[in-house]
Amino acid sequence: EPEVTQTPSHQVTQMGQEVILRCVPISNHLYFYWYRQILGQKVEFLVSFYNNEISEKSEIFDDQFSVERPDGSNFTLKIRSTKLEDSAMYFCASRGNTGELFFGEGSRLTVL
């Protein structure tokens, strides 16, 4: 069964460092998303991406964040200068022509 894959599964970084989280969406999907979940809290929408551009973003997705689809298979989330409060699980998701989003297993980011 096709699935969304994310790497790394866990990344530890120092405050102020840049981090890139990678996702390989399901191959025939056209809509891509990033969500995050701070420990013990709810899953929060960050950004959606379609046709090589951001289609919607939340207030969390500030200038420190960016997304890119550098080739036909990868979808990345970059955090330019990490803060302690960026520590969270980051989930990538993709969607085809049906309504449901398929989520990856997440990348845990720990900022020290």
Partner 1 sequence: GESVGLHLPTLSVQEGDNSIINCAYSNSASDYFIWYKQESGKGPQFIIDIRSNMDKRQGQRVTVLLNKTVKHLSLQIAATQPGDSAVYFCPENRGSQGNLIFGKGTKLSVKP
Interface with partner 1 (CB under 8 A), residue from 1, 14, 28, 42: 42
C-alpha 17/C-alpha 99 separation (Å) is 36
Interface with partner 1 (CB under 8 A), residue from 27, 55, 73, 110: 55
Interface with partner 1 (CB under 8 A), residue from 48, 67, 82, 87: 48
Site string for partner 1, 2-41 (x = CB under 8 A): --x--------------------------x-x-x------
Question: How far from chain centre, in Å, is Cα 59?
Answer: 15
Interface with partner 1 (CB under 8 A), residue from 50, 68, 73, 80: 50
Name beta bridge partners: 20: 78
Sign of CA dihedral 10, 94, 59, 63: positive
β-pairing, 102-103 vs 31-37, is: unpaired
Q: According to the binding rule CB under 8 A, does residue 105 interact with partner 1? A: yes
Dihedral-angle region of residue 27 (phi above 0 means left; psi in -120 to 50 means alpha; beta otherwise) = alpha
Site for partner 1, rule CB under 8 A: 4, 31, 33, 35, 42-45, 48, 50, 55-56, 91, 93, 95, 99-106
